Amino acid sequence: MNPDHFKDKVIVITGASSGIGLASARLFGSFGANVVMAARSYDKMLELAPSVNGNPEKVLCVKTDVSVEEDCRNLIRLAVEKFGGIDILVNNAGISMRALFKDLDLKVIKSLMDVNFWGTVYCTKFALPHLLASKGSVVGVISIAGYSALPARTGYSASKYAIRGFLDTIRIEHLRDGLHVMVFAPGYTDSNVRKVALTADGSRQGETPLQEDKLMSAEECAQHLAKGLYKRKSQLILTGLGKATVWAHRLFPRLTDRLTYRYIARETGSPFK
């Protein structure tokens, strides 16, 4: 990968105040890109902006709730006003959940679809004319759960499957006009998403059931994202476990169901216990 490929590119990243989004913003900033950081935590983004690029003219922070259509429209408008166009849109903002469907308040699934799926749809819709003009890239950060479902994450898996279907369709619609569409599926990554996952009643989980120190770092994940963009890949599935899970789900779906059940049942505080 040649970092100069991203120099002066305009890159919009949602969910940019933490985790994969922040690591990606810092990486692209180090490559000399113009980075547009979008998140609900505006003050936090302002504090973090110098770590993305020491030149304030190269970073734009936009307070954005991606579940709100007008916020997404405003994000793209301000990005274009500031930098003149958009080359890459990284739809990274997302929330998770942890509860069995039978115990779940339906507002939890609606919240996940509003942020994860509709946030991707809104931002992509408003950015699309600019991405077509630049023959740029749109990315959806999904999950292995968007290929092989995870129990106790009905809303999360459903939203990630939906994003994959949406972006795969967009790719086919634009096969002949230079638009690059990538579905990016990390495995378990060290991030804040599980700590703020929603429980059955919509309250935040507050802690993660995983051993975060054994997971892929957000910085390593960002490196893979950049390489995928550089090579204009259609999909990128990370980690050996992730690739094995996707492969097994395609060939041996019933076996994968049983293995997935056992894996989740071993988690700390598993809802199956």
Catalytic residues: 156
- What is residue 103's DSSP assignment? G
- What is residue 216's DSSP assignment? B
| C-alpha count within 13 angstroms, C-beta hemisphere, residue 42 | 6
* Separation of alpha carbons 109 and 100, rounded Å: 11
* Separation of alpha carbons 183 and 190, rounded Å: 20
* Separation of alpha carbons 9 and 103, rounded Å: 46
* Separation of alpha carbons 147 and 145, rounded Å: 5
Residue 133 makes CB contacts below 8 A (sequence gap 6+) with 85
Tell me the C-alpha to C-alpha distance, in Å, between residue 213 and each of 64, 191, 208, 217.
30, 10, 12, 8
Token duo for residue 129: 């004319």
Which residue from 186, 192, 193, 190 is spatially nearest to 235, judged by alpha carbons?
A: 186
